[in-house]
Amino acid sequence: MLNGEIFANSSSLQNLILNSMNERVIFHDSQMRIRWTNRAGMDFYNLPLERLVGRHCQAILDRSEEECENCPVKIALKTGKSEQGILTFPEGKTLLINAYPVFDDDKLLGVVEVSIDITERTRKEKELLKAVDESVAESEAKSHFLANVSHEIRTLMNVILGMTELVYDSTQNEEQKEYLAMIRDSTFFLLSMVNDLLDLSKIESGKIALKQDYFNLPQKVEKIVSSFRLQAQKKGLELNCTIDDNVPRTVVGDSGRLQQVLINLISNAIKFTEKGEINVSLKLVQTDGLENRLSDLNEENNTAVLFSISDTGIGIPENSLSHIFQYFHQADSYHHRSGREGAGLGLPITKNLVELMGGSVVVSSTVNEGSTFYFTIPFPVSRDEAARPDEPAGSKMEQELDQAVTQREKGLAILLIEDRLTNQKMTTLMLEKKGHRVTAAHNGKEALEILKRKRFDLIFMDINMPEMDGFETTAYIRNAEKGNEHTPIIAMTASATKKDKDHCLKAGMDNYISKPITTLELDRVISEVRQPGNLNLHIQEETDIQEGQ
């Protein structure tokens, strides 16, 4: 304990306090000469006080003018203001230096330097930054690897699915149709796993971007549910969809990601239910905690939509409920009774997508009784749009329009540019089966030679080709077009990201189809680029064009 004598001598007390500090405290006069330092300062210079007083630290440390140019003490003496900076010394020490000017009235007497040794902290920060850089590089490498692998897998599945579809449509043998359907379904299942891996990669790297478009929410949900009715009927299940009247019709959001979430949850419900029913419902709820949204709803504050997908299936064990949304986790009852289908990615991706859209998701379940998944999405609502009636999904008018467009899109002259012979043959057969006339080219250079002699209604353009890829070929075609000439170009690629699609559209292509390709997708993209009223069909066989014409 300090005695009375020390307290009586303020100078001794100050020295005792300053010498007990780990920080280096030094007073430099107006000529930047050291006039006093505490014990930490003496330890830093490894000299006693009497050998430091009157000397410049630059001389003591044998540093050049350039090395001391950014010294906070030197700058504070020039500016008369407090300064801070970090200096690294030859012996490897790094100091955080604070410099405080000392005035007597308006006269600058010198600067008090308070320095903290941050050598260890700096080392740890560098290690952390290095680890972050390595982690980012590893994540980028993984994303690049997954993209390349998925591209190759999709290319192979394109042939498998395409040829399966062609053979399925051409055979009358029911047993063969059953076998082909098994091949098709298994390939689609493999494709869904590839898509899940891509989504996982994009979620981990923060590269998923949401669209913000107007769409009819009830109509969208009803269409998604309708697409599962046949699958449910085959298992003898009842599939119901209930949408409260106060659910807004037109909302703003990413309908594609919402569709992905609903497809995942509904397909899981059907997969794990052997008898009974699946119910999909929508209602308006409050925006506070999801648990509160399930009861005591205040209609005046309803600004979010609550989706629920319930089933009467096998249920999820209680000890798995807390892990069900973790990557690569599958509930015990799920693997034992479903053959461990899937990679355990669907529900975690669903959770991430829901949260990305501003919502949350929970699940309640009882083994052998069923499960209910709840999730909310806070959709902005367009009041004016919501009041406008929409044509019901699958209406007679819509069907007649589809038939009219399909009829008018038959017999097109199509240039198919595809370097892989198997893909080329399969796509040609699909298009010819629809009544189109196809000319095939193996690469961009060959296609440009063909275009000098013939005109086409549209072009299917593979992206990755030797000699001249799809982007280069498209640029040549667009530069050669004159006046009102414009041949629609549809990109074909096994890459499946929004970035890839945007790249194609910016390159001058009109639409995009992702492999594996089906006849339904071919019909869709053709109809989209060949709008009614803007058709210039070459019903007759292509006529040769004179060179240079």
Model pLDDT, residue 172: 80
Do residues 369 and 221 share a domain? yes
Alpha helices in 366-454 (DSSP H): 383-386, 396-408, 421-433, 444-451
Q: Are 459 and 510 in contact (CB under 8 A)?
A: no
Number of domains in the chain: 4
- Percent of the chain scored above 90 by pLDDT? 26
* Tally of CB atoms within 10 A around 234: 9
Single residue among 368, 386, 404 that ends a domain in this structure: 386
CATH number of the domain where residue 363 is located:
3.30.565.10
Do residues 258 and 379 share a domain? yes
Do residues 375 and 400 share a domain? no
pLDDT digits (tens, 9 = 90+) for 217-228: 999 999 889 888
pLDDT digits (tens, 9 = 90+) for 170-191: 888 888 878 787 777 767 666 7
Q: Which of 44-48, 121-125, 152-156, 423-427 has the least mean pLDDT? A: 152-156
In a domain, 9, yes or no: no
Model pLDDT, residue 549: 33
Do residues 233 and 185 share a domain? no
In a domain, 14, yes or no: no
Q: Which residues lie closer than 8 Å to 202 by C-beta, 6 or more apart?
A: 143, 208, 497
In a domain, 549, yes or no: no
pLDDT digits (tens, 9 = 90+) for 295-318: 433 333 336 899 999 999 999 888
In a domain, 122, yes or no: no
Q: Are 535 and 410 in contact (CB under 8 A)?
A: no
In a domain, 486, yes or no: yes
Do residues 445 and 324 share a domain? no
pLDDT at 292 over 50: no
Q: Are 371 and 310 in contact (CB under 8 A)?
A: yes
Give CA–CA dist 221/390, Å, rounded.
Answer: 14
In a domain, 8, yes or no: no
Do residues 434 and 501 share a domain? yes
CATH number of the domain where residue 49 is located:
3.30.450.20
Model pLDDT, residue 393: 41
In a domain, 11, yes or no: no
CATH number of the domain where residue 497 is located:
3.40.50.2300
Single residue among 69, 85, 117 that ends a domain in this structure: 117
Do residues 252 and 374 share a domain? yes
Do residues 335 and 417 share a domain? no
Do residues 328 and 223 share a domain? yes
User: Which of 165, 65, 232 has its CA nearest to residue 56?
Assistant: 65
Q: What is the pTM of this model?
A: 0.47
Average pLDDT estimate for 29-35: 91
Q: Which of 159-173, 214-228, 261-275, 382-396 has the least mean pLDDT? A: 382-396
Q: Are 538 and 454 in contact (CB under 8 A)?
A: no
Do residues 200 and 217 share a domain? no
Single residue among 386, 413, 448 that ends a domain in this structure: 386
pLDDT bucket at 28, cuts 50 / 70 / 90: very high
Domain ranges, residue 181: 134-204
Do residues 160 and 236 share a domain? no
Q: Give the E-state strand segments of 468-537 in sequence order.
A: 489-493, 511-514
Model pLDDT, residue 244: 93
User: Reduced to 3 states, what is the DSSP secondary structure of residue 9?
Assistant: coil
In a domain, 510, yes or no: yes
Q: Please identify which residue in the block is written with the tokens 């440009």.
A: 448
Do residues 168 and 225 share a domain? no
The mean pLDDT value of the chain amounts to 78
CA distances for 446 relative to 372, 439, 450, 468, 479, angstroms: 56, 11, 6, 9, 17
